[in-house]
A and B are shown apart, each in its own frame.
Chain A
Amino acid sequence: MFIDIDCSQMKKYNQNAYGDYFISKRYPDEAKLIAVLSDGLGSGIKANILSCMTATMLLKFIEGDQIPISKAAEIIMNSLPVCQVRKISYSTFSAIEVDDDGNAKIVEEGNPEFIWIRGNEVMKPEFRSIPSKTFKNRCLKVYRINFKLGDRVIFCSDGVTQSGLGGGRLKLGLRREGLITIVQDKLQEHPDISSTELAQYIVNQARNIETDRLPKDDISACVLYFREPRQALLFTGPPYHQEKDAEYAKMFDNFKGKKAIAGGTTANLISRELNRPITMDTTISIGKLPACSYMEGVDLVTEGILTLTKTLEYLDANTPDIDNAAGKLVKFLLDSDCITFMVGAKLNQAHYDPALPIEIEIRKNIIKKIANVLQDKYFKKVNIQYM
């Protein structure tokens, strides 16, 4: 199973820093994922520091594997200081550790209870309570759940459940019930909605019911969706051993999932081996990138290094929806969960001519950088094969 995870956040109005902190990391070797959402007391910079410290420390504790997640959470709960003014704890948190088979451990302290949806019904999981020995008002909830294909899990900060509080229509705010209704209605409409879209939708809905649409608290929603992975393959660069072209073309053809080619020579290779003509986009390329081409059975064909360099730039800066070849490649990559790169190791000497007016990166390096940003920032599963 693939776990599609994303978090959407909004700041309290008039603040310039997020008071909630979300952090997530995949561990491909252990086929697991850890995510933490923490809500710092107050708002702005102070809350940002508190929640950031809590979330990152908890993540480090859990990934260390020295102690179980419940113990790690208990230690944090017992040691979080008390705010001198409000006499409550510095921050609240929710954390999940889950493997690809859906075996999950969840801990919660102070955040609204997470919502687990299966077949658009809300499930009621059992939990174990661990009261804090040092603070009477703190209590940890520990869950062990086996998630199945199609399940969804929603974590949120109290900014979501308390949105609209004290306003005209919802005297007590949105509350858990209101949030469940919003989510169920959306899922009824779009059963396959991605975590990114659902998280954004929740946050926007929460904002919309606030008076004057100004968030009175930081709003965060983190969504997990267990589903079949969407596979994608990107073939770039001609293989080092030319005699194996036919073999690689066959591998490319046999791949089940979406396919893209980045590189003129690579496109010619596939075209020749599979006997499929290439047609070039007749529109003049926008900006500084060559236009896309088209080939039957391939979802996207672009130029190589320049487009890849620009793609990395867009991924880094988080600027999707740009109407050029790199923008299309960004969309191709982000619309997939598991991405395989077939990277040809052959060098084109002409690219290293000092007369070339711009810096052209080595293909291997740029692919490595793209893979890293896809993994770390967009939580994709990436696999690189050099040929």
Chain B
Amino acid sequence: MSEKVSVKVCLGTTCFVMGSSNLQELIDTVPKKYGDKVEVSGVPCLGLCSIDWEFSKAPYVKVNDEVIKEATVEKVLKAIDEKLK
């Protein structure tokens, strides 16, 4: 696969307090594991919490176009693995 997998960690207020502050470790760990096949970055806000608020699924992470709700490091890594298959 030639396309890079893009991982966007939402660092907006809701996601940040709901745990995306811990997801920032991905910025360090992912390049170590996958090299330059995956690109991880923070984004100011994905704008998802204001749409999805009734179900409160923050923090959100986007792996390519797939939205991961209640994201954890494990969930994100699993999603990356699937994209790289």
Binds B, one of A131-139, A179-187, A218-226, A354-362: A354-362
Closest to A360 in B: B13
In angstroms, Cα B47 to Cα A349, docked, is 12
Candidate in B42, B49, B52, B53 with the most chain A CB atoms within 10 angstroms: B42
B64 within 8 A of A: no
Q: Which residues of A contact B49 (CB under 8 A)?
A: 348, 350
Looking at the assembled complex, report how far the CB atom of B29 sits from the nearest CB atom of chain A, in whole angstroms: 11
Q: Mark B36-67, 1 if CB is under 8 A from A, else 0.
A: 00000111110101101110101000000000
> In the complex, what's the smallest C-beta–C-beta distance from B20 to chain A, in angstroms?
8
Q: Is the CB of A305 within 8 A of B13?
A: yes
Closest Cβ of chain B: how far from A270's Cβ, in Å? Answer: 10
Hey, which chain A residues are within 8 Å of B43, CB to CB? 264, 278, 280
Q: Given contacts A264-B11, A285-B11, A285-B24, is CB(A357)–CB(B17) below 8 Å?
A: yes
Task: Using known A-B contacts A349-B50, A350-B50, A360-B17, determine if residue A280 contacts B56 with beta carbons closer than 8 Å.
Answer: no
B44 touches A301 (CB 8 A): yes
- Of B13, B27, B41, the residue contacting A264 (CB under 8 A) is B13
Q: A265-B45, A284-B25 are contacts. A351–B13 as well, Cβ < 8 Å?
A: yes
A358 engages B17 (CB within 8 Å): yes
- A306 to B43, alpha carbons, bound, how many Å? 16
In this assembly, does A323 line the interface, its C-beta being within 8 Å of a C-beta of chain B? no
Q: Across the interface, which residues of A come within 8 angstroms of B42, CB to CB?
A: 280-282, 290-291, 293
Q: Judging by beta carbons under 8 Å apart, are B47 and A265 in contact?
A: yes
Cα–Cα distance between A264 and B53 once the two chains are bound (Å): 16
Contact A264 B12 (CB under 8 A): yes
- The 8 Å CB contact of A303, one of B13, B18, B58, is B13
| Beta-carbon contact of B13 and A304 below 8 Å | yes
Shortest distance between the CB of B59 and any CB in chain A (Å): 11
